[in-house]
Structure 1
Amino acid sequence: MRFTRFLTIIGFLVTTLVTAQNKQISLEEIWNGTFRTEGMQALHSMNNGKQYSVLNYDRTARTTSIDIYDYKTLKKVNTLLSSSDLPEIGAFFDYSFSKDESKILLTTKSEAVFRRSTLGEYYIYDRNSKKLIKLSDDLVQEPTFSPDGSKVAYGFQNNLYIKDLSSGAIKQFTFDGVKNSIINGITDWVYEEEFSFVRAFDWNADGNKIAFIRFDESNVPEFSMDVFGTGLYQTQQVFKYPKAGETNSNVSLHLYDLDTDKLSQLTVDKAYNDFYIPRLEWTKEANVLSVQFMNRHQNELDLWMIDVAQNSSKLVLAETDDAYIDVTFNLTFLKDNSFIWTSEKDGYNHIYHYSKDGQLINQVTNGNWEVTNYYGFNEKTNTIFYQSVENGSINRDVYSVKLNGKSKKRLTKRDGTNRASFSADFTYFINTHSSATSPQEYTLNDAKSGKLVKSIKDNDKLAKKLTDYKTSKKEFSTISVNGNELNMWMIKPADFDENKTYPLFMYQYSGPGSQQVANRWNGSNDYWYQHLAQQGYIVACVDGRGTGLKGAAFKKVTQNELGKYEVEDQIEAAKKLGALPYVDASRIGIWGWSYGGFMSSNALFKGNDVFKMAIAVAPVTSWRFYDTIYTERYMTTPQENPSGYDENSPINHVDKLKGDFLLIHGSGDDNVHLQNTMRMVEALVQANKQFDWMIYPDKNHGIYGGNTRLHLYNKMTDFIHKTLGDKREKSEEKEQIKSKIKG
């Protein structure tokens, strides 16, 4: 069986990590796709529960296809659709089905707006008539089928439209949309970034009503970025961005009735001031809409049911927290309109079952561990499927449990990170497993027992390829810091000698609820760390206080003090690691990106007796410069908490800089604005502190495109060698150069 062969290959990989590796991992290989893993693209379980579809790309023919596979045999049943049969379009790179799967929405062109939002060109393929029609001649947003598949609603230029697929008629039903002023049914920048959704409209079950959120951002301050491009003059991107303490969009809830062609505003029986609507979703009842309202501090969350036929509302659930409440996508309505909900109210994130009126029926899961994903509910067997870290906070497993909280079962057997995609009838699930020693493998499993049925796709070739390289094991452990056992990983040089001393390079992100110490396969940075280990560095990562999956108290201790306890933990961890006999305490560095850049800057300044160098990429340098939703969730407003904002801002600690500092940013970063770096630079200059810095023109928060990533990592690697490299070796190199010159 392939699964057994895969384990053999991994066993071979692990046993030969030190002895059989010769090749060095190069930066070029990291970024040219040499170590890319194979995956399954756009996986969709078909309604019959017996088959699934996958998007496949034929690189030779340059065509895409939607292929149907049988769960039981894993054999391809047929090709549902191929771009080679559609002369009207060149290819498509994404797809989605109508509810009855009679129609397919194809994405043929896409232009990024912000992190999650895109403008796209779309076509609808009718499987019965075999006809292909273009949704719109314009690039539109968030096209969504009506429940019966007869219509598609979408956003265009801040207004909402409906296309009737039979007649081809397009109906515009909002008319006040204006750029940087009014948005209908599509989220504004800060909602998109921090509440993680773009489509702010939803069809009801009967397909005759659409509820949507309207954003009035007229009074939100504007932010502008120069776009340098290739022309003689730069242009500007101007958009509404509410920084901490500033005015948010004024949001309101609206309803469009297709039968009467009327718009109306929906309200609830409570007066809210300065609030958010982070979620809306129709229930199983066609006239009952669920809406979540949240106060600006984000420590009160109300779930409302609005009966649009009766023009009435009912508050069914009200949660409060001393710190904040995380908004999720886990709300699920059952046939009787009771609902599944997840909450941290007992100190850990768990699953709860409530009646339609908001009465608690039972807490489904409980324990000192976190539920990390909710997969769905099988009504035939009364079974919930979910993912959790019950098997250790660095591992993730898939579980099943009855709705009454009994008969819990661990369905995945291998330690590491497991993710599931269930068949529509919950007979099977496709498990994606990886660990620090095992690249992604996709297997078919029985949903009742978790038993392996067959291996679908693995990365045997990549595993074999890596046996030729000089790599090191990622060692997981914990480290006792400031009264807490913190998760840690460490990578040592493959030829590690405990009698020698090595420079230490630390990585962290540290943002609230995040996790970097996880038992999963390599990302690009992991190969970079292997590259550094080959150069004689020890690389380590510590998840300090404020990070996730260890309970609400551990995560929320940083409330109102972002950058205080997290920095203390990194400094103390560096001291403890520096005390190890094989670590050179005079050569310790730290780096991070975004929140991690905020952290590495503070660590270097406040820990100037510990850290010799730091690299900060796209850092927040003052939370006064960042957006309302994220920042105020953890800090309240600057007006309420000025000391929390300023005492932990690295800008206010530049006078403490002693070591080497590299500051990097993209000028087109719409998320963490270049303003952060520019203000840091000015503070450093005025403090007469020398430093290195790099600006990547027109690059966003990810700093990529063309040769950019390779250039970035070359620059950081050179800086590490320059600042943490062995002084003795450098001295010998200088003497050799002098000898050559004299000769």
Structure 2
Amino acid sequence: MRNSCLWIILFFSFTTVCAQERKYTMAEATNGLRQNLAPSRLMQLEWIPGEQAYSQLTVTAEKKFVWEKTLLPSGKKQLLFRVSNMSWQLFHDSTLRWMPVFHWLSPTEAWFSRDSNYYRCSFAADGSVNYSLWFHLPAAAENVFIHEKSRHAAYTIDNNLYLRNSNGNTVKITNDTAAGIVNGQSVHREEFGIDHGIFFSPDGTKVAFYRMDQQMVSDYPIPDWSVTPAQVKQIKYPMAGRTSHQVTLGVYDIAAGSTRFMQTGTPADQYLTAVSWAPDGQQVYIALLNRAQNHVWFNQYQASTGSLVKTLFEETHPRYIQPRHSISFLPWNKDQFIWWSERDGYQHLYLYNTGGQLVQQLTKGNWMVNELTGFREKTREIIYTSTEASALEKQVYIASIDGKKKERLTTVAGWHDATISTNGLFLLDKYSSETVPYVVRVSEIKGKYDQQLHSSPDPLKDFDRPVIRPVQLKAADDSTILYGKLILPTHFDSTRKYPVIVYLYNGPNVQLIRNSFPASGNLWYEYMAQQGFIVFTMDGRGSSNRGLAFEQATFRQLGTVEMEDQLKGVDYLKALPYVDAQRMGVHGWSFGGFMTTSLMLRHPDVFKVGVAGGPVIDWRMYEVMYTERYMDTPEENPEGYAASNLLTKTKNLKGKLLMIHGTNDDVVVWQHSIDFLKACVDNGTQIDYFVYPGHLHNVLGKDRVHLMQKITDYFKEKL
């Protein structure tokens, strides 16, 4: 009997060790956090409009999907419907093969789409549900926006804008036939926070839309190798210093059936951002940003005529401004709104009135506001997220509109995303941290109710995971603090010497280092640690979420200050007794690919191996909006463009460099690396090169596993 118990103990110990020694497959290291290794989450968790309740999709013990409603603060659950019943009533013998995304229209109605059909669910007081086909759109319809109150739907087909009104009639709002004119879609290459081009008025009686004229922009060829013979698709790609597109904003009055364009004036290549409606739907607000991106005019226009009513205020900066947020009117005062600005060096909220007078600055400090989450109308308070607690965290705060009171609502360290109920009384908080995969809590903002709805088990608990050490270094200016992470090899032995891979991005609008799950930030880092590599990553000056001085340190000299900071990281690594300074590699994609190539050429004695993906090689060939913000034009800043131009530096390469590009890249166009290859050939410089046919700027899906295996094999072979 004793021997049997001992055998059981030994077997249990062996299986426990084996479970903890599990290695990542390349597929898990690459896509696992989006697939089988993703922390479990609550599906379609959202507030129900007009009710103190939230809804979510739930899987029953019988593996059936149901849509439930939870009332607060009682926590009482009500079954809205079973997806199997909905599937049977709507589609009969053709069941749903995937879960549709449900959208609330009102407390008693919701909708979802399948293919080109839009369905409505109506909930009766007796608990019964009626499912019906609401309307059908053409298969070519894109950019669909449904106004919940009016029940109008706006959408685009090709480059024109259409409206399907609540009566079921369809109107073609625009009728542009020129291929270079685009209506109802995002503009300015999705800079300035722009991600759509259709804007319904609050009451749904009007729809504003972007109209972008690109006819004056040079064509750029994107090859299609999937057909024989290969074909070329021409896109419009405005390069730095060259002719840009021209954007206007139209307003279509649904009842009148007429369109007026806002008289935004000249120069025609200015940027139109922060498009917002007045609460009564009679005026439209637009932030006009000059092409130099250092002067903003915040204007009010009469929607019915398009005429300029007034410029409410202007904002300037000697370097650049990024107006990325529409304004938010106070629910209790339709004459006051919140404007976002970095005018004091950090992104904060400012209260203005419609006369253009600054009422007061609502938030202030050496930290950034991330989101304006919502309002508590009864108590005249705003709820927002910020980095006040830490530059590596996002926490939720509530503040009075008079600026006299402020309170932190979330107390757990980590990265929080929050939404509030429509009456402003309850908060849904979803967060993770380096040690917490995913937690959801619902709490009363001004009360005692607090309930944990979900806590994900650790999906990585059975893996052989590395030790991860936080790193703080001083930048090359000897004062600014930089944050990084050191990922040590599994089964680390401090008496050994290990090869190192530095992964970097270090470009604008990106922050790699933050307190979120997993602690490494990337399972490929952990995979490489299992292969015996040290991995180091750090956000240098120029990256996001640290304030204007931190970001603008690279102005007019992209690729210089960032490298100085990254080399401070290299100095730190070389000082570690277990780092083999002769076996150091560097890898990055996009801006990180530019940084990788820059380090290999401008500091050729540092890294033995580099892998650069989708790299910018010559900033003169990158898009107007992004490049001119950080570099000015090539004519204004010839020295900065020359210093960052990697085509002139190929003779400097000493280490091994693998460059990778997608053949259909329409962000960093393929010509960057093709021209680089030509420069290498001209100078007798040998590099390694690989392309991904048909892929855009990022190699995604199953082919990404191939990409990461190639990168891994290159480092293992060369280091």
- Same-fold status (TM-score > 0.5): yes
Write the distance in 1 (CA, Å) between the matches of 2:151 and 2:526. 53
Write the distance in 1 (CA, Å) between the matches of 2:283 and 2:376. 23
SS of structure 2 residue aligned to 1:367: coil
Which residue identity lines up with residue 213 of structure 1 in the other structure?
Y
* Alignment correspondent of 2:271: 276
* Alignment correspondent of 1:114: none
* Alignment correspondent of 2:474: 480
Write the distance in 2 (CA, Å) between the matches of 1:613 and 1:439. 34
CA contact (8 A) 2:325 2:340 kept: no
Q: 1:303 to 1:26 in 2, by over 3 A?
A: same
Q: How does 1:200-349 map to 2 (within 5 A)?
A: 200-229=197-226, 231-268=227-264, 271-309=266-304, 311-334=307-330, 335-349=333-347
Write the distance in 1 (CA, Å) between the matches of 2:594 and 2:198. 36
- Pick the aligned partner of 1:677 from 665, 673, 677: 673
- Pick the aligned partner of 2:408 from 380, 391, 410: 410
* Alignment correspondent of 2:174: 174
The CA deviation at 1:537 is 1.4
- Pick the aligned partner of 1:86 from 75, 83, 90: 90
- Pick the aligned partner of 2:365 from 359, 364, 367: 367
Q: How does 1:380-419 map to 2 (within 5 A)?
A: 380-419=378-417
* Alignment correspondent of 1:426: 424
The CA deviation at 1:234 is 2.2
CA contact (8 A) 2:245 2:269 kept: no
Q: 1:587 to 1:312 in 2, by over 3 A?
A: closer
- Pick the aligned partner of 2:596 from 591, 596, 600: 600
* Alignment correspondent of 1:729: none
Write the distance in 2 (CA, Å) between the matches of 1:568 and 1:290. 42
* Alignment correspondent of 1:660: 656
* Alignment correspondent of 2:114: 108
The CA deviation at 1:470 is 1.5
SS of structure 1 residue aligned to 2:522: helix
SS of structure 1 residue aligned to 2:367: coil
* Alignment correspondent of 2:13: none
1:84-129 deviation digits (Å, cap 9, x = unpaired): 13218864755464654565442324xxxxxxxxxxx341426277
Q: 1:486 to 1:342 in 2, by over 3 A?
A: same
CA contact (8 A) 2:140 2:158 kept: no
Which residue identity lines up with residue 244 of structure 1 in the other structure?
A
CA contact (8 A) 1:49 1:427 kept: no
Write the distance in 2 (CA, Å) between the matches of 1:327 and 1:308. 22
* Alignment correspondent of 1:9: none
SS of structure 2 residue aligned to 1:48: coil
- Pick the aligned partner of 1:454 from 440, 451, 455: 451
Write the distance in 2 (CA, Å) between the matches of 1:527 and 1:452. 37
SS of structure 1 residue aligned to 2:335: coil
SS of structure 2 residue aligned to 1:466: coil
Write the distance in 2 (CA, Å) between the matches of 1:584 and 1:243. 42
Q: 1:122 to 1:447 in 2, by over 3 A?
A: farther
Write the distance in 1 (CA, Å) between the matches of 2:156 and 2:359. 39
* Alignment correspondent of 1:47: 49
1:422-477 deviation digits (Å, cap 9, x = unpaired): 2212222221221122211122222236x6722222221xx1x5332211232212
* Alignment correspondent of 1:187: 186
Q: 1:65 to 1:169 in 2, by over 3 A?
A: farther
Which residue identity lines up with residue 493 of structure 1 in the other structure?
P
Q: 1:226 to 1:81 in 2, by over 3 A?
A: farther
CA contact (8 A) 1:42 1:94 kept: no
Write the distance in 1 (CA, Å) between the matches of 2:520 and 2:695. 19
Q: How does 1:134-149 map to 2 (within 5 A)?
A: 134-146=135-147, 148-149=149-150
Write the distance in 1 (CA, Å) between the matches of 2:104 and 2:298. 28
Identical aligned pairs, as a percentage? 31
Q: 1:575 to 1:274 in 2, by over 3 A?
A: same
CA contact (8 A) 1:509 1:592 kept: yes
SS of structure 2 residue aligned to 1:571: helix
Does residue 469 of structure 1 match 2:468? no
* Alignment correspondent of 2:126: none
TM-score under structure 2 length normalisation: 0.89
Write the distance in 1 (CA, Å) between the matches of 2:498 and 2:355. 62
The CA deviation at 1:332 is 0.4
Structure 1 portions without partners, runs of 5+: 1-16, 110-120, 725-743
* Alignment correspondent of 2:7: none
Q: 1:174 to 1:659 in 2, by over 3 A?
A: same
Q: 1:157 to 1:466 in 2, by over 3 A?
A: closer
The CA deviation at 1:480 is 2.0
CA contact (8 A) 2:433 2:519 kept: no
Structure 2 portions without partners, runs of 5+: 1-15, 124-129
* Alignment correspondent of 1:152: 153
Which residue identity lines up with residue 427 of structure 2 in the other structure?
F
The CA deviation at 1:344 is 0.8
Q: 1:71 to 1:38 in 2, by over 3 A?
A: farther
The CA deviation at 1:55 is 5.1
Which residue identity lines up with residue 461 of structure 2 in the other structure?
T
CA contact (8 A) 2:487 2:520 kept: no
With 34-43 and 219-228 compared, the bigger mean Cα shift is at 34-43
- Pick the aligned partner of 1:611 from 603, 607, 624: 607
The CA deviation at 1:161 is 1.8
Write the distance in 1 (CA, Å) between the matches of 2:256 and 2:21. 73
The CA deviation at 1:659 is 0.6
- Pick the aligned partner of 2:717 from 715, 722, 742: 722
Q: How does 1:688-703 map to 2 (within 5 A)?
A: 688-703=684-699
Write the distance in 2 (CA, Å) between the matches of 1:126 and 1:170. 23
Q: 1:537 to 1:290 in 2, by over 3 A?
A: same
TM-score under structure 1 length normalisation: 0.87
CA contact (8 A) 1:620 1:672 kept: yes
Which residue identity lines up with residue 171 of structure 2 in the other structure?
K
The CA deviation at 1:523 is 8.9
Q: 1:585 to 1:452 in 2, by over 3 A?
A: farther
Write the distance in 2 (CA, Å) between the matches of 1:105 and 1:551. 41
Q: 1:98 to 1:183 in 2, by over 3 A?
A: farther
Write the distance in 2 (CA, Å) between the matches of 1:192 and 1:380. 40
Write the distance in 2 (CA, Å) between the matches of 1:55 and 1:228. 42
CA contact (8 A) 2:529 2:535 kept: yes
Q: How does 1:630-645 map to 2 (within 5 A)?
A: 630-645=626-641
CA contact (8 A) 2:512 2:521 kept: no
Q: 1:685 to 1:289 in 2, by over 3 A?
A: same
1:136-176 deviation digits (Å, cap 9, x = unpaired): 1232122223463332222222222221333x221222212
Q: 1:98 to 1:49 in 2, by over 3 A?
A: closer
CA contact (8 A) 2:224 2:230 kept: yes
CA contact (8 A) 1:670 1:700 kept: yes
CA RMSD of aligned residues (A): 2.7
SS of structure 1 residue aligned to 2:544: coil
Write the distance in 2 (CA, Å) between the matches of 1:260 and 1:524. 57
Which residue identity lines up with residue 458 of structure 1 in the other structure?
S
CA contact (8 A) 2:395 2:408 kept: yes
SS of structure 2 residue aligned to 1:325: coil
The CA deviation at 1:80 is 5.0
